[in-house]
């Protein structure tokens, strides 16, 4: 699991997902109302020791993509959505 997260962290396509969303700093006043369970790669890496099943790890990885899709409109952030597609494809390649 750690190796997967490290690969994603080094990949520039996923740099938007490295750290928690700075909702206040970015002026996203409704972010916390819409996204109930934030997730990012640094949080995921910290949680690795607590995962007892690979499915839980994968669920949290997918949560990054789900949160992005939930908060953003696809047409307004097409590059972001390409990154999300890449992250879910990468997840499947490494875990399945």
pLDDT tens-digit map of 44-75: 999 999 999 988 998 998 898 889 888 887 65
What's the whole-model pTM score?
0.80
CB atoms within 10 A of CB 77: 16
pLDDT digits (tens, 9 = 90+) for 14-46: 888 899 999 999 999 999 999 999 999 999 999
Domain span holding position 30: 2-95
Of 9, 34, 11, 12, nearest to 23 (Cα)?
A: 34
Number of domains forming the structure of the chain: 1
CATH number of the structural domain spanning residue 34: 1.20.920.10
Nearest to 65 by CA among 46, 47, 92: 92
The tokens describing 46, both together, are 């910290």
């Amino acid at each position: 699991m750690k190796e997967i997260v490290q690969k994603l962290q080094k990949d520039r396509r996923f740099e938007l997902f490295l750290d928690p969303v700075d909702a206040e700093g970015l002026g996203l006043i409704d972010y916390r109302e819409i996204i109930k369970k934030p997730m990012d790669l640094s949080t995921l890496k910290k949680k690795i020791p607590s995962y007892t099943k690979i499915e839980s790890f994968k669920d949290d990885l997918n949560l990054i993509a789900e949160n992005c899709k939930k908060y953003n409109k696809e047409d307004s952030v097409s590059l972001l959505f390409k990154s999300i597609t890449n992250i879910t494809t990468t997840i499947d390649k490494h875990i399945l």
